[in-house]
């Protein structure tokens, strides 16, 4: 092949018998598929359709969750939650270690229990009232700004929506917009340390994943949340300045018996 125009950028993708060639010709971007040309305008229209599909999947996901949350009557739910946490930094000696362990224990509470919900409310083992599905505070209201990836497919006769959220960072008394709209997050404003004072906390949510499966009536059958995170903080315990960092993953699953 001989290229006369040195400004021409050629990308050849071989997939089976399909060869795609992309270039710049006379100021107009074009794609050739098996010799046929597709204009940039056509691709823009295709991208618009793809974005419309994404918006529909987000709308449908919100609808599934909120329809299930607002359902009247009784439901039996199997809720599981577990964590992997690794301490990567801890200063302040035994005082700092004790403070860090206390903070971790406030958030890291593994559970595996069968809950009976009535009109969207249930009671956990610790006696606290819990709402059906996440987010625990209010309705599910995910938007496209919070979505990194989304797809919809069929699995075992049910519709499934998979979502990966954008990366987010939240400081002390702050909540991450995407995670708080549809999943869980660490409520740093709720930390009460009688032994000292927290001066700074940063939590990085590095890509929360959600897999929701719904029945033919549009109710959630099963939903799984995977929340990888990195957190660091500073505290003052008496005269001791402490600093700590952790990495980990929170996993939570709700399985609803219909």
Per-residue model confidence as pLDDT tens digits over 1-26: 444 444 433 333 333 433 333 333 33
Q: What is the chain's Cα-based Rg?
A: 24
pLDDT digits (tens, 9 = 90+) for 212-239: 999 999 999 999 999 999 999 999 988 8
Which residues does residue 254 pair with via DSSP β-bridges, in sequence order? 79, 223
| Predicted pLDDT of residue 50 | 56
- Residue with more model confidence, 133 or 38: 133
Strand 209-214 relative to strand 111-118, pairing: unpaired
Q: Span 194-199, mean pLDDT?
A: 82
The predicted-structure confidence for 138-191, as pLDDT tens digits, reads as follows 899 999 999 999 999 999 999 999 999 999 999 999 999 999 999 989 998 888
The model's confidence at residue 102, banded by pLDDT at 50, 70 and 90, is: confident
- pLDDT value at position 45? 59
CB of 170 within 8 A of CB of 205? yes
pLDDT-derived band at 30, boundaries 50, 70, 90: very low
Q: How many CA atoms lie within 13 A of 80 on its CB side?
A: 10
**pTM, rounded to two decimals:** 0.78
Kindly state the percentage of the chain with pLDDT values over 90: 62
The helix/strand/coil state of 23 is strand
| Average pLDDT value for residue range 194-207 | 91
Cis ω on the peptide bond leading into residue 135 (within 30° of 0)? yes
Domain range summary for the chain, segments of one domain joined by +: 73-257
For CA atoms 203, 209, 215, 218, the dihedral sign is: positive
Residue 164 β-bridge partners? 149, 209
- The predicted structure's pLDDT at residue 66: 97
Over residues 104-114, the mean pLDDT reads 87
- The whole-number pLDDT of residue 6 equals 42
Evaluate whether 164 touches 207 at the Cβ level (below 8 Å): yes
**pLDDT for position 228:** 97
Distance CA 13, CA 160 (A): 31
pLDDT mean across residues, the chain: 83
- By the 8 A CB rule, do 212 and 64 touch? yes
Gap between the Cα atoms of 93 and 91, Å rounded: 6
């Amino acid at each position: 092949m001989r290229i006369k125009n040195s400004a021409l950028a050629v990308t050849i993708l071989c997939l089976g018998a399909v060869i795609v060639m992309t270039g710049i010709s006379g100021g107009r971007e074009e794609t050739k598929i098996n010799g046929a040309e597709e204009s940039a305008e056509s691709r823009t229209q295709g991208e618009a359709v793809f974005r419309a599909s994404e918006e529909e999947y987000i709308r449908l996901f919100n609808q599934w969750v909120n329809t299930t949350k607002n359902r009247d009557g009784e439901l039996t739910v199997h809720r599981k939650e577990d964590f992997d946490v690794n301490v990567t930094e801890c200063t302040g000696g035994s005082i700092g270690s004790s403070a860090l362990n206390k903070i971790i224990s406030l958030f890291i509470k593994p559970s595996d229990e069968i809950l009976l919900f009535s009109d969207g409310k249930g009671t956990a083992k610790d006696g606290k009232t819990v709402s059906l599905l996440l987010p625990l505070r209010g309705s599910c209201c995910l938007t496209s700004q919070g979505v990194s990836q989304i797809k919809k497919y069929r699995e075992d006769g049910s519709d499934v929506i998979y979502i990966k959220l954008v990366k987010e960072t939240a400081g002390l008394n702050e909540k991450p917009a995407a995670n708080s709209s549809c999943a869980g997050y660490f409520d740093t404003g709720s930390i009460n340390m009688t032994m000292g004072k927290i001066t700074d906390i940063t939590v990085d949510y590095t890509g929360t994943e959600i897999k929701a499966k719904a029945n033919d009536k549009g109710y959630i059958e099963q939903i799984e949340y995977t929340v990888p995170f990195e957190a660091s903080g500073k505290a003052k315990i008496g005269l001791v300045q402490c600093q700590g960092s952790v990495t980990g993953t929170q996993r939570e699953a709700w399985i609803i018996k219909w």
